[in-house]
Structure 1
Amino acid sequence: MCAGKETPNMSCYHGASKPVYVDEELLQEAVLEQGLQDQAERIAKEEGIHYNDALRLSLEYRNIRRIDHLWEFTSLTKLNLNNNFIKKIEGLNHLVNLTWLNLSFNNIEKIEGLEGLQKLEVLKLSNNRISFIENMDNLVELTILCLANNLLHQLNNVVYLRRFKKLFTLNIEGNPIPEESCEDNYLIFIAAYFQQLKFLNNIFLNEDIRNRASIKYNLDIEEMNQGELQRQQAVEESRKQEAELQRHEDAFVEQLNGSHLYNNIFQNDTEADKLHCLPGVDELLEGFEKHITDLCNQLFEVGLAEHKRREAEITLFFQKNEADVTRHQRKAFNLLTDFEKQHKQRIKELQELTDAKERKSQVENCLKEINLLCYNLMTVEFQLYGHMEETIRKFDNNISEMTSSFSETAQGIYPLHCRELEDSHHKNIQQIANTTVEMVAKGESEDELPDDVRMLFLDKNTVTDTLAASHDNHVQTINDRETQLVTRAEAWKVALIKGIEDTELRRNRMRIADIHRYADYLRGQLEKLQ
């Protein structure tokens, strides 16, 4: 047993072995030991190991101290790291397809580093030094959790796990949780608070246990359920609002549904605030706000409608793209199937030949067939790539037309009319201001105006300059929102097309490399038979 450790830890029994770290050599050894799906070990050694193809990786009993170098294992579904010297959970966020993780029998003190594992179903953390359950919110698919023989000492902390609605099996035995803390065996407590749980510490929670739990904790559970329901409703409402705001941003019309623009126009216009006390100004501002808001709402609705059109076009493109790739892949598959059937027969005949001349002739024939296969596969791939280029070009034209049309519509509805409204509003304010200047000069409004407003209207030129600066700022705010809308729409279109083109280019290069690699592998087979 480890000194100072309250629970057993198998890493203590490794003897005096020197701790190691996960590195390239260790990973290659582990992957080759376990084998790669659909690849022989010899091919893996000759052509290099494709970590992103590995589905399972077992690294137990290797004296590992730190988790590292796993970022390429993006397809990994099962990872075994039990019985090592690991102190910290880290380096796992790239394993987005992981469903099974075993970190039992290590020296882990804190649950962390699991944020990216949203598909994780099984988590084994038994025989560590964990004292608190936390940082697991993203594990929404969790069904089995093992935390036996750790340092958990608060039964209420276990209630944290209620958020995992799919949790089926929980093991927390061997932890220093005092049973007297809940006046009964915590089996009843857990059965009450985890109504979906089937097994606790390998004990089936039968109907009798459920009934006893329901009687004992009925009021507590009802209160907790109500609180959780309210919190869940609040979270769902927040998510809906976030999703709606994201939809507005994707349509480039965020904060155009309402009086946001009007508020932005006057946000920093301190001089305009002084005009509210002038006769008729409040009515002008109310009318100005209404007209600006109506225009913004009109553009907002147009933006959402255009966004829906673009989304439909994008969906149609990717559906067609997938169908085209599938069709060409089927052609290539048929070519490979026919070739492999005949190639196996040719290899069999070649192995049976004893005459050197005949063997040489048969090898040359096999090489010709391999070259023909390579040519035919390349032809299919180039046909697909050329077809995809044309499809992307048409899609680019369609999206560009939609984006340009939206930008032109927006410029017609929003900035042009908004500027006209601002010009009209400015002229009306000028008339009121000029009248006020004359009244102040005659001393007719001394009792009606605050001192700071009256001081502003003592000089006509000052008033004219102040109103002109205010008008320029208003127009600039309108122009800036127009520029933001148009430039973001164009940048989105450019990024979308570039992303599609880059993805297709990578697919094409990978396919060509695969064809050459397979042909080289076949030629290597023949060389060994000569």
Structure 2
Amino acid sequence: MSRLHDTTEPAVVSEDMLVFAVESQGPKGMAGRIAKEEGVNFSHVKSLRLDYRNILRIDNVWRFTNLTKLQLDNNIIAKIEGLDMLVNLVWLDLSFNNIEKIEGLDTLVKLEDLSLFNNRISLLENMETLTNLHIVSLGNNDFNDLNSLLYLRQFKKLKTVCISGNPMCMNEDYKLFTTAHLPNLDYIDYRAITTEMRTQANEKYRDIVEELIAEELSESRKQEEALIRRQQETLHKAAFVDLLDGSGLFDSMYESDPDGNRLQEIPEIKELVDSFREQFVEQCHQIFEFGIKEHNRRQEETDQFLECLEEAKTENRHLCVQQVKTFLTYKKTVFPIMLQTQDVDELDSLMEAYNEKLSKISSCLTGLELQLVDQLEETIKEFERNISDMITAYVEQVQAMFAQCRELENMHNEKLVEQCAAVLDKVIHNSPEVEALTEDLRLLFVDKDSMNNAISSSHENHIHEIDTKEDCMITGVNDWVAAFIGRVHEEEEVKRNRHRIMEINHFIDYQTEELDNLELEEAPVDQ
């Protein structure tokens, strides 16, 4: 469906093409000659026209980082690519090309006007990030199904859509369908939607649209619920309490316990396990609530700590800036005097005073940095003491609470042994009460050793799962503290300090160089 192009050799977007395009679209006359002499700075360009150039592939436009309008229409472009860095684009014209797929637009989140008119596109896709779209031109493509337009319902700011010239427009009701299903539109094919047309569309498609809205609301709720679940899962993992808000840990104890599951086929044992489950899940919930509470306490402690660090750094920066401003004010006063004086002795005196003040500012800035290092180190040590006390108390409480879990398991195991012994006795005496036992279950009651081995295996598996979760909580919090303190030391005590010292040295070296240059250029020569 795309128009025929001339037979000129296909081109890519080259450096020379870009320079020529920018210069030809820039200022004319004297201003243009000046701009040409100064050279092209692509990052300053706001608008760029690359139409009618037989371009086959988009390339080399990544340097136009501030571009807001890009015209690439009437070329032979087959694929949308190379636009990732143009994050400030508001207007993009790719009409009259050979594009078959919508892609490569993910980063263009500011895009408001997109023209894909007269291409070979048959599917609306890969536009989810373009939430600011106001105008979309899709005419003269290969869209066959009117329902494909439902994809555009997600763009709440969309006011104008052009779809004429597509196979689906053979349906005489395509404008009514579009009006009804895209209620935010004001224009279709660049013609205003009249009140009469909107009323007619709503009446014709009311039932279908209402059903669609209900489905969308249902899907939206599902997505919100899924998001909440993901957020909760993230929080639970951060607090090391996953599996504890509910029956997760209890279920994991029986997942790899076939003997324990088979035993529950016996009604009396099933009742015993149900009672155990209720008590165990309640204990897990208490651990969960404790874990969340402690996580929040740790978060508050770290937030206060980081705030203290930032306050100290901000205050230190303020003091340094004041010192630097004072020095630069002095420099601004003394340099003109140095340039004007013809007295060598006076110049020497001024230079000596300058160097002395430069030495003092260097010592002052270095001293302020050392003072900050000591202040940060003390703050970090205090935080380490506080968090260490918090973690110690946390670990002790976690161990005590999991000890209660093990106690519940031990008590359950004792009751299980008693109950199974009673079942074994009935099996040995061929009691009618055990006739309904399956063959697999009977294997557990061949003799006392078989029964005890099954119960022991089940018990050990349960204790292992409890111990593993306890270790996870304790190891997790200890690893978190070590990693957090490590990052703070690395960033605050090493990287920041190193950067600051380099910054001070650079400032002093620059001020010295300024004086040397002044002396070389302006100082009077002793005859």
TM-score normalised by L of structure 1: 0.74
Structure 2 residue matching 1:280: 3-state secondary structure: helix
Report deviation, 1:413.
0.9
Query: Residues of 1 paired with 2:196 and 2:507: CA distance?
Result: 63
Report deviation, 1:309.
1.6
Q: Alignment partner for residue 503 of structure 2, among 493, 514, 520?
A: 514
Query: Residues of 2 paired with 1:278 and 1:382: CA distance?
Result: 74
The residue number in structure 1 matching 2:202 is: 217
Find out whether 1:429 has 2:379 as its counterpart.
no
Q: Alignment partner for residue 418 of structure 1, among 387, 405, 409?
A: 405
**What pairs up with 1:94-105 in 2 under 5 angstroms?**
98-100=87-89, 104=93
Report deviation, 1:363.
4.6
Structure 1 residue matching 2:194: 3-state secondary structure: helix
The residue number in structure 2 matching 1:528 is: 517
Find out whether 1:476 has 2:473 as its counterpart.
no
Find out whether 1:329 has 2:317 as its counterpart.
yes
Are the aligned partners of 1:90 and 1:112 in contact in 2 as well (CA < 8 Å)?
A: no
The residue number in structure 1 matching 2:3 is: 6
AA at the equivalent of 1:164: F
Find out whether 1:162 has 2:147 as its counterpart.
no
Find out whether 1:346 has 2:334 as its counterpart.
yes
The residue number in structure 1 matching 2:287 is: 299
What are the superposed Cα offsets for residues 157-213 of structure 1, whole Å, 9 maximum, x if unpaired? 454233233x3665758x844684463785x7666555556777887x6xx735633
Find out whether 1:89 has 2:74 as its counterpart.
no
Report deviation, 1:436.
3.1
AA at the equivalent of 1:254: D
Q: Alignment partner for residue 372 of structure 2, among 366, 376, 384?
A: 384
Query: Residues of 2 paired with 1:370 and 1:67: CA distance?
Result: 50
AA at the equivalent of 1:443: N
The residue number in structure 2 matching 1:284 is: 272
What are the superposed Cα offsets for residues 49-80 of structure 1, whole Å, 9 maximum, x if unpaired? xxxxx99999987999676897xx9xx77677
Query: Residues of 2 paired with 1:369 and 1:86: CA distance?
Result: 65
The residue number in structure 2 matching 1:138 is: 129
Structure 2 residue matching 1:449: 3-state secondary structure: coil
Are the aligned partners of 1:299 and 1:413 in contact in 2 as well (CA < 8 Å)?
A: yes
The residue number in structure 2 matching 1:443 is: 430
Query: Residues of 2 paired with 1:15 and 1:524: CA distance?
Result: 55
Report deviation, 1:233.
2.2
Are the aligned partners of 1:67 and 1:86 in contact in 2 as well (CA < 8 Å)?
A: no
Q: What is the aligned residue count?
A: 483
TM-aligned CA distance change 1:485 to 1:91, over 3 Å? farther
Query: Residues of 1 paired with 2:293 and 2:425: CA distance?
Result: 51
The residue number in structure 2 matching 1:401 is: 389
Are the aligned partners of 2:10 and 2:56 in contact in 1 as well (CA < 8 Å)?
A: no
Query: Residues of 2 paired with 1:386 and 1:60: CA distance?
Result: 58
Q: Which moved more, 1:57-66 or 1:432-441?
A: 57-66
TM-aligned CA distance change 1:488 to 1:361, over 3 Å? same
The residue number in structure 2 matching 1:261 is: 249
Are the aligned partners of 2:124 and 2:151 in contact in 1 as well (CA < 8 Å)?
A: yes
**Structure with the greater alpha carbon radius of gyration:** 2
Query: Residues of 2 paired with 1:190 and 1:386: CA distance?
Result: 68
Query: Residues of 2 paired with 1:477 and 1:189: CA distance?
Result: 59
Are the aligned partners of 1:89 and 1:111 in contact in 2 as well (CA < 8 Å)?
A: no
User: What is the percentage of aligned positions where both structures have the same residue?
Assistant: 26
Query: Residues of 1 paired with 2:159 and 2:355: CA distance?
Result: 57
Where structure 1 has 5 or more consecutive residues not aligned to the other structure, the ranges are: 27-53
Query: Residues of 1 paired with 2:187 and 2:361: CA distance?
Result: 56
Query: Residues of 2 paired with 1:230 and 1:344: CA distance?
Result: 69
The residue number in structure 2 matching 1:45 is: none
TM-aligned CA distance change 1:225 to 1:279, over 3 Å? closer
Are the aligned partners of 2:254 and 2:260 in contact in 1 as well (CA < 8 Å)?
A: yes
Report deviation, 1:17.
7.0
Structure 2 residue matching 1:439: 3-state secondary structure: helix
TM-aligned CA distance change 1:162 to 1:440, over 3 Å? closer
The residue number in structure 1 matching 2:442 is: 454
Report deviation, 1:327.
2.2
The residue number in structure 2 matching 1:32 is: none
The residue number in structure 2 matching 1:503 is: 491
Are the aligned partners of 1:433 and 1:463 in contact in 2 as well (CA < 8 Å)?
A: yes
Are the aligned partners of 1:88 and 1:109 in contact in 2 as well (CA < 8 Å)?
A: no
Query: Residues of 2 paired with 1:104 and 1:268: CA distance?
Result: 60
AA at the equivalent of 2:103: E
TM-aligned CA distance change 1:398 to 1:367, over 3 Å? same
Query: Residues of 1 paired with 2:299 and 2:83: CA distance?
Result: 36
Q: Quote the RMSD (CA, aligned, Å).
A: 4.5
The residue number in structure 1 matching 2:232 is: 244
Report deviation, 1:350.
3.4
Query: Residues of 2 paired with 1:407 and 1:201: CA distance?
Result: 68
Find out whether 1:273 has 2:261 as its counterpart.
yes
AA at the equivalent of 2:202: Y
AA at the equivalent of 2:486: K
Report deviation, 1:476.
0.9
Query: Residues of 1 paired with 2:276 and 2:117: CA distance?
Result: 70
What are the superposed Cα offsets for residues 437-496 of structure 1, whole Å, 9 maximum, x if unpaired? 333333335635333333432222222222222221121111111111211222222222
Where structure 2 has 5 or more consecutive residues not aligned to the other structure, the ranges are: 20-42, 522-527
The residue number in structure 1 matching 2:361 is: 373
TM-aligned CA distance change 1:389 to 1:226, over 3 Å? same
Report deviation, 1:291.
1.4
**What pairs up with 1:52-131 in 2 under 5 angstroms?**
87-89=79-81, 92=84, 98-100=87-89, 104=93, 110-113=101-104, 115=106, 120=110, 122=112, 131=121
Query: Residues of 1 paired with 2:12 and 2:262: CA distance?
Result: 78
The residue number in structure 2 matching 1:314 is: 302
What are the superposed Cα offsets for residues 80-134 of structure 1, whole Å, 9 maximum, x if unpaired? 7765989453684xx7x945466655986544355566x6455756689572442
Report deviation, 1:339.
2.9
AA at the equivalent of 1:470: S
